[in-house]
Amino acid sequence: METIQVRTKEKQDFPEITGAVREKVRNRGWQDGVLFIFVPHTTAGIFINEHADPDVVKDISALADRIIPEEFPCRHTEGNSPAHAKSVLFNNSLYVIIEKGDLVLGTWQGIFLAEFDGPRNREVYLKFMTDGG
Amino acid sequence: METIQVRTKEKQDFPEITGAVREKVRNRGWQDGVLFIFVPHTTAGIFINEHADPDVVKDISALADRIIPEEFPCRHTEGNSPAHAKSVLFNNSLYVIIEKGDLVLGTWQGIFLAEFDGPRNREVYLKFMTDGG
Amino acid sequence: METIQVRTKEKQDFPEITGAVREKVRNRGWQDGVLFIFVPHTTAGIFINEHADPDVVKDISALADRIIPEEFPCRHTEGNSPAHAKSVLFNNSLYVIIEKGDLVLGTWQGIFLAEFDGPRNREVYLKFMTDGG
Question: A103 in contact with B at a CB cutoff of 8 Å?
Answer: no
pLDDT, position A131:
82
Alpha helices in A29-130 (DSSP H): 55-67, 81-90
* Residue A116 near residue A89 (C-beta atoms within 8 A): no
Does B108 contact C72 at a Cβ distance shorter than 8 Å? no
Q: Give the residue with greater pLDDT, A133 vs C92.
A: C92
A42 touches chain C (CB under 8 A): yes
Among the partner residues B36, B74, B82, nearest to A95 by beta-carbon distance: B36
Touching chains, B (3+ CB pairs < 8 A): A, C
Beta strands C109-115 and A93-99 are unpaired
| Residue A47 to chain C, least CA–CA distance (Å) | 14
Closest chain B residue to A64, measured at CA: B85
Identify the band that residue B123 occupies on the pLDDT scale cut at 50, 70 and 90: very high
Interface of C with B in 58-77 (CB under 8 A): 67-68, 72, 74-77
Q: Indicate whether C42 pLDDT > 70.
A: yes
User: Could you tell me if the ipTM is greater than 0.95?
Assistant: yes
- The pLDDT, as a whole number, for residue B82 is 97
Dmax (CA) for chain C in angstroms is 51
State which residue of chain B sits closest to C42, comparing Cα positions: B49
Asked if the model's pLDDT at residue B131 lies above 90, the reply is no
Chain C: list its partners (3+ Cβ pairs within 8 Å). Answer: A, B
pLDDT confidence tier of residue A33, bands split at 50, 70 and 90: very high
pLDDT in tens, C85-116: 999 999 999 999 999 999 999 999 999 999 99
For C97, the closest of A41, A68, A125 (CB atoms) is A125
Beta strand ranges found along A26-108 (DSSP E): 33-38, 44-50, 93-99, 102-103
Q: A132: pLDDT confidence band, cut at 50, 70 and 90?
A: low
Sign of the Cα pseudo-torsion (C93, B1, C31, C107, in order): negative
Chain C residues lying within 8 Å of B131, measured CB to CB: 128-130
pLDDT exceeds cutoff 90 at B103: yes
Q: Is the confidence at residue C132, as pLDDT, over 90? A: no
Distance from CA of A19 to the nearest CA of C (A): 22
Q: How many CB atoms lie within 10 A of CB A69?
A: 11
Q: What pLDDT shows up at residue C131?
A: 82
List domains and CATH numbers for chain A: 2-129 (2.60.120.460)
Question: How do residues A17-29 score in pLDDT, each as one tens digit?
Answer: 999 999 999 999 9
